[in-house]
Amino acid sequence: MHSSMTITLLVTLMVFLIPPATSTSRHSLDHRRPDAKTGFEVTLKHVDSGGNFTKLELLQRRMKRGRKRMERLYAMALAASDPSVSAPIHPGNGEFLMDISIGTPPASYSAILDTGSDLIWTQCKPCKQCFSSPNPIFDPKKSSSFANLPCSSDLCAALPLSSCGSASACEYLYTYGDYSSTQGVMATETFTFGKVSVPKVGFGCGLDNEGGGFNQGGGLVGLGRGPLSLVSQLDEPKFSYCLTSIDSTKTSTLLMGSLANLDATKETIMTTPLIKNPSSPSFYYLSLQGISVGETKLPIKKSAFEIKGDGSGGMIIDSGTTITYLEESAFDLVKKEFTKQVQLAVDESNETGLDLCFKVPSGAENVEVPKLVFHFEGADLDLPGENYIIGDPSGVACLAMGGSSGMSIFGNVQQQNMLVVHDLVKEAISFVPKQCDDL
């Protein structure tokens, strides 16, 4: 049993919005200086920010994207171990956009941030097929720092599908589970993040880009564990993000490289090891060992969160999935215990799209909720109430979690107001409580 006493969290009922929404060893490019320390900060903007949506509409939009993303992430994990499964790469759409500049002189773009994939790419001229986007199409001829990557390069070898084009230039094809794809040439270029320029970043110059899911930005920045990702190409392969409260209008923050270092003397740090799934080496898998609701440690079977031989199972942490999804048998126990401990009637209308909602009496200003603890290996993460209870003015308070089949995901609602540090050298994830509005 979990030893701590049940606590009461007072959650003021307002409209809580979901946020403005192989080896993991470092893979350095041959031309990078091993002693170089690159660190920079990037502002993250949610893809729905600035849209003319009601708060309930925002919630419904993000839930819909999150469910599709979960299904395709699972399809990718299975595809990696079974070639007959037709979903080699998970979808590109995520929840956050980051502003970057590419080339010399720098041209500004907005790109989708994705912690679940590796390739960095943008649309390039001469474009055979390009999707509509508010961003311009990058023109390599206008940049003095653009250079094609040869077929002999390590990054070319790391691609799932590549070929050798004219002048031994590396050509790539990246296909997504929803029939979206990007195809073009691999190159190196100077990427600028704020005031910091990083030379010779390997990326895909997309000449044939089809399908949906990318039109919020001009391309995608992969931050997965594989060698093609931006974090793996840095001399210090580490990054962290701090996502603001779900009801905040402020932007979130991404820290890359040396700026993501922790100060252990000043912070309360909880660290858990990253584990490996050979079928999906790019995903950030965590070892979830149990869950407590109030003072009750739930009787979840150990096998519920284990990675299975076919590549399914396990739990990943993902910035692009809105709420946490738990394997169905585990979620049923969480749902049952919350229903038992929350002294409110269950709402069956299902208007929010969330699986468990409670009716809040008219005129009530607060709702009492039991605490929720995720027991990761080496880290008991005790979440604040606003990280798992979402209130709606229609008179309901909902649990921001859902059930899944085949894969569990620790979503971004549960990560808000925490600095979440991904360290590819130590192969660990750290959680540091923060007021992200103040960063």
What's CA 335's distance to the chain center, in Å?
A: 24
Band the pLDDT of 92: cuts 50, 70, 90: very low
Instruction: Tell me what pLDDT residue 12 has.
Output: 32
Q: How many CB atoms lie within 10 A of CB 364?
A: 12
Which residue is catalytic, options 48, 118, 235, 318?
318
Instruction: Tell me what pLDDT residue 24 has.
Output: 33
Signed CA dihedral, 419, 227, 66, 219: sign only: positive
Instruction: Tell me what pLDDT residue 284 has.
Output: 97
**Residues 151 and 159 sit within 8 Å (Cβ to Cβ):** no
Q: What is the pLDDT of residues 45-80, one digit of tens each?
A: 887 776 666 555 666 677 777 777 776 676 666 665
Question: Do both 278 and 215 map to the same domain?
Answer: no
Instruction: Tell me what pLDDT residue 133 has.
Output: 81
Q: Identify whether 284 is part of a domain.
A: yes
Mapped onto helix, strand or coil, the DSSP state of residue 359 is strand
Question: Do both 280 and 320 map to the same domain?
Answer: yes
Instruction: Tell me what pLDDT residue 206 has.
Output: 93
Question: Do both 244 and 276 map to the same domain?
Answer: no
- Among the residue ranges 75-79, 107-111, 248-252, the one predicted with the least confidence is 75-79
Instruction: Tell me what pLDDT residue 366 has.
Output: 77
Which residue is catalytic, options 48, 114, 392, 423?
114
Question: Do both 253 and 275 map to the same domain?
Answer: no
Question: Do both 240 and 124 map to the same domain?
Answer: yes
Q: How many CB atoms lie within 10 A of CB 111?
A: 27
Strand-by-strand arrangement of the 379-383 sheet: 296-297, 288-293, 372-376, 379-383
Q: Identify whether 2 is part of a domain.
A: no
Q: How many domains does the chain have?
A: 2
* Distance set, CA 75 to CA 72, 179, 220, 269 (Å): 5, 13, 20, 33
Q: What is the pLDDT of residues 181-229, one digit of tens each?
A: 789 999 999 999 988 999 999 999 999 987 666 667 778 899 999 999 9
Residue 141 is classified by DSSP as G
Q: How many CB atoms lie within 10 A of CB 394?
A: 14
CA angle, residues 351, 353, 356, in degrees to nearest 5: 90
Q: How many CB atoms lie within 10 A of CB 402?
A: 23
Q: Identify whether 377 is part of a domain.
A: yes
Signed CA dihedral, 275, 280, 284, 288: sign only: negative
pLDDT higher than threshold 90 for residue 166: no
Q: What is the pLDDT of residues 120-158, one digit of tens each?
A: 999 999 988 888 888 889 999 999 999 999 999 999 999
Question: Do both 249 and 357 map to the same domain?
Answer: no
Question: Do both 248 and 275 map to the same domain?
Answer: no
Q: Identify whether 390 is part of a domain.
A: yes
Q: Which of 126, 101, 97, 124 is nearest to 113 (CA)?
A: 97
pLDDT higher than threshold 70 for residue 82: no
* Distance from C-alpha of 78 to C-alpha of 72, rounded to nearest angstrom: 10
Mean pLDDT of 309-320: 92
**Residues 407 and 77 sit within 8 Å (Cβ to Cβ):** yes
**Bigger pLDDT: 179 vs 91:** 179
Among candidate residues 257, 290, 306, the one where a domain is terminated: 257
Among candidate residues 257, 277, 300, the one where a domain is terminated: 257
Question: Do both 48 and 183 map to the same domain?
Answer: yes
What percent of the chain has a predicted confidence (pLDDT) above 70?
A: 80
Among candidate residues 257, 275, 300, the one where a domain is terminated: 257
pLDDT higher than threshold 50 for residue 6: no
Mapped onto helix, strand or coil, the DSSP state of residue 334 is helix
Question: Do both 71 and 136 map to the same domain?
Answer: yes
* Distance from C-alpha of 390 to C-alpha of 17, rounded to nearest angstrom: 7
pLDDT higher than threshold 80 for residue 354: yes
Mean pLDDT of 290-311: 95
Question: Do both 239 and 275 map to the same domain?
Answer: no
Kindly report the CATH number assigned to the domain that includes residue 334.
2.40.70.10
Q: Identify whether 363 is part of a domain.
A: yes
Which residues, 6+ apart, have CB-to-CB distance to 438 below 8 Å?
none
Which residues, 6+ apart, have CB-to-CB distance to 287 below 8 Å?
272, 273, 275, 305, 376, 377
Q: Is 318 a catalytic residue?
A: yes
Which residues, 6+ apart, have CB-to-CB distance to 276 below 8 Å?
22, 23, 24, 285
Mean pLDDT of 313-327: 93
Q: Identify whether 63 is part of a domain.
A: yes
For the full predicted model, state whether its pTM sits above 0.95. no
pLDDT higher than threshold 90 for residue 272: yes
Q: Identify whether 274 is part of a domain.
A: yes
The residue range of the domain holding 113 is 39-257
The rounded mean pLDDT for the chain is 83
Q: Is 114 a catalytic residue?
A: yes
Question: Do both 294 and 429 map to the same domain?
Answer: yes
Question: Do both 248 and 363 map to the same domain?
Answer: no
- Among the residue ranges 170-174, 291-295, 370-374, the one predicted with the least confidence is 170-174
Band the pLDDT of 299: cuts 50, 70, 90: very high
User: Which tokens in the block code for residue 230?
Assistant: 């931006």
